[in-house]
């Protein structure tokens, strides 16, 4: 059976990983002024940051519409038996509902998984789906396995600025001002499909990120060391190398993957955001 493994563009997988694992991507839309642009195709995260810096305005985001999914699934099924598609959490976007609606036109052939997550939390699932497909698993089997496995994802990230959340109405001006004055950098955690604020770090970004990584990994006995992502929206290469070395010192990780956040995720978190994303045992 030939399986088409797919994700929406919020999975933040690098082009190299997409190619190596044969994962297909369908883009969400970015609203920049009067323009509607496809995430990662017609607009990048750096384009978004430049627009906000120049205008003081945020870009908006929009889910993949049903019409796009209908065309996408239809083309995929011309030379594949089944589709397994992953979406950003249904509590964060209408992508899941739209994909399910479109999939009803292809009964028994399209299996949509609500990741209950974002960014490379979704990427973990898509990569695992590709590996399961290589083992000969069917779409039904892959969906069942990963619906269970997604509950073990540990996804969080540290924000360098609250301005993007403030401008987007997700954080009050007073809270943003207080955080900026105190140099507070909150850790955002994804639990039960929604984002919440965890610990707040104080100080320079590099020190905050080191403390964050240590506290997420050091001394924890439930970390799955097979694969971990470092995903960021513009942290320096030197800092990434430093954090990767720190992770290697904290546990026997088999694979440390670095990716950059795409346009959709970056439009909400802003520049210099960084997270580590992995499974718990």
> For 122-159, how does the pLDDT look when each residue is reduced to its tens digit (9 = 90+)?
999 999 999 999 999 999 999 999 999 999 999 999 99
Q: In angstroms, rounded to a whole number, what is the distance separating the alpha carbons of residues 205 and 135?
A: 42
Statement: residue 180 has pLDDT above 60: no
Write the DSSP assignment of 130-164 as a string of letters. Answer: HHHHHTT--HHHHHHHHHHHGGGEEEEEE-S-SHH
**Residue 171 above 50 pLDDT?**
no
Q: What are the structure tokens assigned to 84, written together?
A: 């397994």
Domains of the chain: which residue ranges?
3-151, 153-280
Query: At 228, is the secondary structure helix, strand, or coil?
Result: strand
Please tell me the least confidently modeled range out of 89-98, 145-154, 183-192, 254-263.
Answer: 183-192
Assigned architecture for domain 153-280: 2-Layer Sandwich (3.30)
pLDDT recorded at residue 77: 98
Domain 3-151 identical in fold to domain 153-280: no
Taking the CA atoms of 148, 101, 107 and 137 in sequence, report the sign of the dihedral they define: negative
pLDDT in the model for residue 175: 46
Residue 10 makes CB contacts below 8 A (sequence gap 6+) with: 28, 39, 87, 88, 93, 95, 118, 119, 122, 262, 264, 265
The CATH code of domain 3-151 reads 3.40.50.10170
What is the pTM for the complete model shown? 0.93
Taking 70 as the threshold, does the pLDDT of residue 168 lie above it? no
- Could you list the beta-strand ranges (E) of 203-281: 223-232, 256-260, 274-280
Instruction: Tell me what the pLDDT averaged over the chain comes to.
Output: 92
Q: Is residue 78 over pLDDT 60? A: yes
Whether 238 shows a pLDDT value over 90: the answer reads yes
């Amino acid at each position: 059976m030939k399986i088409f493994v797919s994700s929406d563009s919020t999975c933040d997988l690098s082009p190299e990983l997409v190619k190596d694992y044969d994962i297909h991507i369908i883009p969400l839309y970015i609203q920049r002024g009067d323009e509607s642009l496809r995430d990662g195709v017609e607009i990048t995260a750096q384009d978004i940051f430049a627009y906000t810096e120049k205008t003081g305005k945020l870009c908006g985001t929009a889910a993949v519409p049903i019409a796009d999914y209908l065309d996408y699934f239809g083309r995929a099924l011309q030379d594949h038996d089944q589709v397994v598609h992953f979406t950003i959490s249904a509590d964060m976007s209408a992508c899941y509902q739209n994909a399910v609606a479109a999939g009803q036109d292809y009964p028994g052939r399209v299996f949509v998984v609500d990741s209950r997550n974002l960014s490379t939390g979704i990427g973990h699932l898509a990569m695992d789906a590709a590996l399961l497909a290589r083992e000969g698993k069917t779409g039904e089997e892959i969906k069942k396995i990963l619906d269970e496995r997604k509950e073990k994802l540990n996804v969080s990230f540290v924000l360098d600025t609250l301005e993007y959340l403030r401008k987007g109405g997700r954080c009050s001006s007073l809270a943003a001002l207080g955080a900026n004055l105190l140099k507070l950098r909150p850790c955002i955690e994804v639990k039960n499909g929604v984002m919440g604020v965890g610990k707040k770090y104080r100080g320079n970004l590099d020190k905050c990120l080191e403390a964050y990584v240590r506290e997420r990994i050091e001394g924890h006995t439930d970390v799955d060391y097979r694969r971990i992502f470092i995903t960021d929206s513009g942290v320096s290469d030197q800092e990434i190398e430093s954090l990767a070395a720190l992770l290697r010192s904290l546990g026997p990780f088999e694979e440390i993957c670095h990716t950059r956040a795409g346009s959709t995720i970056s439009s909400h978190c802003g520049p210099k955001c960084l997270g580590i994303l992995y499974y718990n045992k």
